[in-house]
Each structure stands twice: as structure tokens, then as C-alpha cells.
Structure 1
Amino acid sequence: MFSFRQLTIYGMVFASVGRKGTLIISAIIYGAGVALQVPAPPAGVFVLGRILLGMGLGLISVTSPMYLVESSRPTTRGRFIALYTQLLTCGNVIACGISLGTRNLAGANSWRVTVGFQLFLALVIFLGALIAPESPVILMKANKHDEARQALASLRNIDPNSEEMTESIDEIARWVQEQSTSGEVHLSECFKGPDLRRQLLGICIAFFTIATGITFWFGSGTTFFEAAGVAPGSRVDQFALVAGAVIFIAAYAPSWGTIGWIVMTEPYSQRLRLLQSTITMVVYWTSTWAVGFITPYMVDATAGDLGVKVCYVWLVMIILSVLWAYFYVPELAGLSVAETDLLFETGIPARKSASWGASLRSNARDIEESTSIVLTVGEKGVKTDEAPYAHT
């Protein structure tokens, strides 16, 4: 919940220091929050540490995907976001491993080590932000064209003087020009015209990514299995419950756990990317908190008393999420930012988006081949015309 307030306020304020500056400041805030918690101070100081940690986490969760989208090619954008989400999952696994390894330590040391390990993560983010170049989009907005070209060359590993570089810089320049001529960005724009569809796409995927039950299994799985009587010598149906949970988590990781984050970061226009990403992350973290807070009461015998029947709730949410994805999520893989804008502006339905993208690329190849043929014929024609003059 501390991330909620952070996202709505600081997400806009820190836009002025760029992606690089935001990540550096976020790492400092994040590290300060961890440092306040490790000594096990009075409750008020500990809560302050949690607030600072949430602030840093909120900024990082908004800024990192935006940096990846702005810095990568259309063909590699999804892969980088997927890698980003896999690293998040690795963080969960590492945290569980540390907690398991320190469970027998005396007193508060059993949790201090786990909390303190986050200082290493804050240091990694801080050093990475120092080394990484600024986002080319931010540099272009600041009229630092040469620095933007160098940053893009470094991030995409391409020749600064290549045709690909020129095309990429020209595309970014068009985005910046469009934003400057459209005036100041307003929050209400996120819910108007084609941008409404983009925003609803981000909001819904943020909700369904959590509402399918993953937070419950990660946060309450152990106590849930204990309450269900799972132990050595359990019945077959009790082990089936564990097996079902493992299969769900294994299926979730490469699907909603990875692709969900890609969809949460890809669809926005450059003009509204910061605002719409912020709104989406607010929904994501609010959903994470809500599911983690409510479901224990749904399961507990003194409250909702659903017990293992809570799995039917997740089943219903999974069915709803699949239907929603089929009818609402367009295929954005391989599309440039300009092509993504065109898809939303022309209102291409989600079910036709894959064939639309394929025809778009096919037309582009046909035009490129036609241009190549015309140039080849033109060059031959020049040589033919020059021949008579060579004999005179």
C-alpha cells in the first residue's frame, strides 16, 4: 500500500530527472528504507522504513519497464520485459531460500538477514543506474541529439552512423515533436479516445494478473496446506492439492506472470506512457494488497470458511481472464511504437490484430521490394542512356 501513494504522486514528480536519475534516487530511498528496518527499531521507525521501501519499489516498478520499452527494438522489447519479470520471480525464490536457511537463527536474526539482503539489491540497482545511459527519449526531449544517438548506439549495439540509427532517431524525434505540439499532458487524456482502450488494457491485465490467485499461493500457501492437513502420510487428494498448486504456479510463470507484464508496459503512447504506466501499477499493487489481505479471511474457519473451496474462486477468475484476453488483448509483438499507435487509432479488434500486423509487415516488404526493383531498373536505364554519348 505504501507503493500506491508513491506511484500516484512521485511518478509524475520524478519525470523531470529522467529514467536514470529516477532509478538512482529510487535505489537510495529503497536502501534507506531497508536500513531503517534491519536494526529492529521502535515501531514508528520500522513503519517509516516500510514506507520508504514502498516508495522506492513503486518508482522502480514504473521506471524500469518504461526504460526497457524506450531503449529496445520492437523485435526485442517483449524479450526484455519477459527477462525483467523472470528476474522478479528469481527474487521471490531467493527470498524464500534465505528465509528457509535462516529459520533456525535465534531471535530477530531469522528475519533480519532476509530484510537486510535487500541492501544488496538496492546497491545493484544503484550501480546499474550509474552505468546505464539515459533513455534516448529523455535525451531527445532535452535537445541532446548527439547524446541520444550515442545512448541508443550503446543500448541497441548498433553503429551510430547506420541507417537503422537514423530511422530510430527520426522516430523518437517524431514522438517528441508530437508531444511538444500537443501541449501539456493531462490525466484526463488517459481515459479519452483510443487512449481509453490502452488504459483499460493495462488496468485489466494488472488486475487479472493478481486475481488468478498467485498472491494467495505465494503468501498463504504454507499455512493453507497445513490447515488442509497436508503432511507426510497424507491422503492422495491432499497431495493432489499440492500438485495442483505447483502446476498452477509453473503454468503461471511463463504465461500471465511474464506476458502480463509485457502487456502492462507495451500499449501506451509515448505522450501518456508515464501517466498510464503509473495508473496501471497503482491497480497492480492495490490488487496485490487486496488479494493478500482478503483471501485469508475467505479461507479461515472463523470467517468465510471456504477452505479448499477457495480454489473455485481462482478457477472462475482464470476463466474470466481467458475470455477477456481473447476478446480484448491485441497482438503487439513485433510492432514498432508507431505501428502500435496506428493499431489503437484505427480501432483494430483484438481478434484481428495478429492478421492485421502480418499484413502490415507483408505490405512493408512488398514496398521495399518494389522500391529495390525501381532503383535497379533506374540504374540500368542510366547506363543505357549514357552509352550513345560514350561513342560520340
Structure 2
Amino acid sequence: MSIPGRLEKSPMRLPTKSGMSGIVMTAFAAFGGMLFGYDTGTIAGIIQMEDWIKTFGVRDSNSSTGYSLPTSRESLVVSILSAGTFLGAMSGAPAADSLGRRIGIMVSCMVFSLGVTLQTGAHNLATFVVGRFFAGFGVGLVSTLIPMYQSECSPKWIRGAIVSCYQWAITIGLLLAAVINNATKDRHNHSAWQISISMQLIWAFVLFVGMIWLPETPRWLIKMNRPDDAAKALARLRSLPENDPVVQSELAEITSALEAERGMGQSSYLDCFRSTHNKIALRTYTGIALQAWQQLTGVNFISYYGITFFTSAGIQNPFLISVAINIVNMGMTLPGMWAVDRFGRRSLLLWGAVLMCVCEYLVAILGVTISINNLAGQRALIGIVCIYVGTFAATWGPVAWVIVGEIFPLNVRAKGISLSAASNWLWNWALAFATPYLVNSGKGDAGLGVKVFFIWGSTCAGCIIFTYFCIPETKGLSLEQIDLLYQNSTPLSSSRYRRELIADERSPAAGSGAAAAQEEKGETWVMEEV
């Protein structure tokens, strides 16, 4: 069968399993998620620590400690990180295109470390807030550059799982933050929160040193007119010789796609919103909206304010409950990493949104109907929150980043991912800033408490509608084939056209249906190219 607009390639042999070292190298870049997850998770416990409140709060005779944290300060300290990440994400595109994906990640680590250092040594609120901003700026850069680096370096058959490693690293960071906060919370001096914050320097150092040894992405090197370096990088990533037909075919495909895009002229941010035959505007709006809806699932309410919420709900040992929920979050990301290349992106988003919607309405209903002294009810509430967080971890957590990393063509990829990540952080900031005013019961606050989950349940219903009409199925396609998918299908017809693309690619060379079936199951590492 002939697919309209297909990229022509030469017949090639079916390689044996190879490339494990390249897969490990690409997966290592996911360590950047540790910066993201730990920095997001640690603040939830820090703002509840007695010494931190005494240092950065205000005197309050009604408080048992003599100090309290006003809603305005709580909102500022938590949300300023997201303001920095928004600007960092917007800066990710120029950093990626000028410095390269690899060097850009290393620069991100240095900016992040500056912010961590300022927070650790802070003795007034202004210095702490500035440190949070710079740490956020570094995290914003990372959130743009890491998915981009992984998408451009990964073999297509396992790209979803590799990019999902980024989300897994985020959950590991969240878990470590909860564990370390729990270990230091009872200290009665600055070390209670300084230890938690300064640990982040270790994660930044590991990522920085690791990136020294990793190759630049072949696609960026091709874009910079460095074909020889691109061949060396791709050969290293695939564990094959530079003159191997697999390497040469992939380079030819990347070059062909880039030349076609260059024929349309230089790209700018405005080009991301132009309606073209390549549907770049649709892709941009999809990426921006997808990241917005991911935040509107409400999961960061648990990350930022989970300990505060469980305390107000009358649950004992909220720090330990936070650790348990983060264990669920980390553990459930693993089946999501497997499922994204098995069941596809679209299905996981749809069913994940359905289950989260049900869980959030149940949490809201339970919260308003049971007493804080009802032990069985409190256990049920914790259990449903765990199911909700686990569902997010297996679906919307990793899959949103996978899709954003693969739907943009090379000439606008950096800008498209940058805009999508910026959308994530803009909504993250808005929700982090507004949530204390929605949940708290002080003067000028809405006092919703647990009823805020009615809002999250309704937004998850919006996630279902958005996914059904706007998200195509891209499982198993190369980044260049995804261009063809957008040009010749709609999200509703994408699954059928995807099957046609894969069938057209396999039919001349597979020799039998067995090889095709094996590749679909992930049993062969590199599929024959035609």
C-alpha cells in the first residue's frame, strides 16, 4: 500500500537486538526529572516545619508555636517556583536551538544550583523567594530540554517508555522529598529545612556530570549542518557502525524531513500558530492544552498542599501518609512506562481521565459527609486518593510528556515543546497561587476544604472530552512518520492511518507476518526500514 507523502527510504535488513547502551544513555537524561519532582515535593513539608515557620512566618498569639504562615505568604512561597519555571520553559527553545540540547541541560543544572544555594542560606523571606525563583527557572529549562533530548535520541519502538522515564524520575524525586522531610521535620533548628533543600545540589551535580559523557542529539546536529557529528552520535546511540544501513537510513530520513521544512523558510514562535498543510497550529494548541489539562487534573494539589490537606482533614501522621502516596505515585509510573508503547497514548489518556474523575468526586463526597473522627471514612479517603494518584502516575503523568516530545516537526520542535512546557508551568503557578485561597478558611478565603475535589473532578471530565477529540494515536511511529499522520488524518481517524503507515513500512521486507507481530510486541529492537 502507498501512503500519501511518505518518506522514501532504501530497503534494509532487520538488525538483531542492539543498542542497549544507547537506550541507557538516553534514559539517564530522565534524571533531570529528579530536580523537577524533588523541588516540587519538598515545599509541601517545609512549610509545615516549626523552625521554617518561625523563620519566615509572622507572630501569631493564637498559634501553639507563637508563629503562623499567612495565606498570602504560603501562596507566594509555593507559587513563585512556577513563575520561574514558566520563564525557564519559555527560554528553553532559544537555549536548545543555540546551545544544543545537551549543553542546555548542563546550563539548567547551574541555574538550578544557584537557586538551591540561595534557599539554603536564606534568613529572610525575600532571599528564600528569589532562590525559589531561580530554582524554578532551572526546572523550567529542564522540563523543555529533557523530553526534547529523549524524543530525538530514542529508538521509535521504545520512545514512549524512555520519555516516560522522565515522569518516573519526577515521582522518585517526590518520594525522596517526602522521606527526607519526614526524617528532618522534628529538628528544632534551621537544619530541619536546610537539609531537605540542600539535597537538591546532589541531583543537579549527578545530571551535570552525566551529560558531559552523553552525545548531542543527531537531529540537532543535522539542523546545525554537522552531518559527520550526527552520524557519530547516532551510531553511538544505536551501538552500530557509522556506515551501517540502519544509521544511514535514519540520518537520510531526518535530513529529508528537515530539508522539506527548511523549504518553508525560517521558523519563529508565530509560525507555531500558523495553519499549514502540516497542521502545526493544531499541534501547538494540542501541546499547550494537553499540559494545561494535566495540571487541571488537580494532582499537584497533593504534591504542594497534601500534608496541609491531610492535617486539616483530621488524618493522623500526615507526613507518613505523604510518603505512602508518593510510593504509590512512583510504583504506578512503572506500568505506565510499559503500557504507553503497548496500549498507546490515546487510550491511556482516555481511561485515565475517566478513573480520576470518579475518584475525585468520591473524595469530595466522602469529605463532606464523614466526620474527621470517623476512622473508617478517613482510611477510605486515603485509599481513594492513592487510587487517584496511581491512575495519574500510570496515565496522564508520563503520557502528556511523551506526546509533547513527539508531535512537533523538527523546525519548530524546540519552540513547540517550550510553549507546551510553559503552559504546564503557567497553570501550575495559577493553581499553586489560588489553591490556598480556595481551601483555607481564614479571612478572605473561600474555605472550600475537601470540596475543592468537586472542581478537580469536573476538570477531569474536561480531560476526557479533550482527549477524545484532540489527541491522535502515535504509538510505534518515528517522529517523521508522525508528520505524515498529522498531514493525512485527524485525531479520530489516526489509529487507522497509523496502522496503514506501519503496514506500508513492513510489507516489502518482513517476509512473513511473524516479524511484524514481534515488533508490535516489542520483541525486536529495531524494525526493518523500507
Do both share a fold (TM > 0.5)? yes
User: Which residue in 2 is equivalent to 1:204?
Assistant: 289
SS of the aligned residue for 2:242 comes to coil
In the alignment, what sits opposite 2:505?
Answer: 364
Task: Give the one of 462, 469, 473 matched to 1:320.
Answer: 462
Per the TM alignment, residue 144 of structure 1 is displaced from its structure 2 partner at its CA by 2.3
Partner amino acid, structure 1, of 2:145: T
Listed as ranges, the gaps of 5+ residues in structure 2 are: 1-82, 318-372, 512-530
Q: Which amino acid aligns with 2:454?
A: Y
Provide the rounded CA distance (Å) in 1 between the counterparts of 2:157 and 2:264.
29
In the superposition, relative to structure 1, how do residues 214 and 98 fare at CA in structure 2: closer, same or farther (>3 Å)?
Answer: same
Equivalent position of 2:310 in the other structure: 225
Structure (1/2) with the larger helix percentage: 1
3-state SS of 1:297 partner? helix
Between the aligned partners of 1:342 and 1:153, the Cα distance in structure 2 is 26
Note the 1:1-392 alignment, pairs <5 A.
1-9=83-91, 11-193=93-275, 194-231=279-316, 234-302=374-442, 303-346=445-488, 348-368=489-509
Query: 1:231-277 deviations in whole A, cap 9, x for unaligned?
Result: 49633223222211111011110111111211222111111101111
Q: 1:298 to 1:51 in 2, by over 3 A?
A: closer
The amino acid of 2:481's aligned partner reads E
Deviates more, 1:17-26 or 1:221-230: 221-230
Q: How much has 1:210 moved relative to structure 2? A: 1.1
User: 1:158-191 CA distances to partner (integer Å, 9 max, x unpaired)?
Assistant: 3322211111110121233234433221211111
- Match for 2:210: what amino acid? G
Structure 1 window deviating more from structure 2 (20-29 vs 141-150): it is 141-150
**Cα distance change, pair 14–260 in 1 and its aligned pair in 2 (3 A):** closer
Greater CA drift, 232-241 or 195-204: 232-241
Q: TM-score, normalised by structure 1?
A: 0.89
Give the ranges of 4+ consecutive aligned residues of structure 1 lying more than 6 Å apart after TM superposition. none
- How many Å separate the matches in 2 of 1:110 and 1:272? 45
Displacement of 1:157 in angstroms is 2.3
Q: CA deviation at 1:43?
A: 4.4
Q: How many residues matched?
A: 369
Which amino acid in 1 is paired with 2:182?
L
TM-score normalized by the length of structure 2: 0.66
Return the alpha-carbon distance in structure 1 between the equivalents of residues 247 and 199 of structure 2: 40
2:314 is matched by which residue type in structure 1? G
Percent of residue pairs identical: 29
Q: Which has the larger radius of gyration?
A: 1
Residues 71 and 156, structure 1, Cα contact 8 Å, conserved in 2: no
Question: Equivalent residue of 2:314, what SS?
Answer: coil
| Structure 1: stretches of 5+ with no match in the other structure | 371-392
Distance 1:228 1:52 in 2: 33
**Mapped partners of 2:190, 2:452: distance in 1:** 33
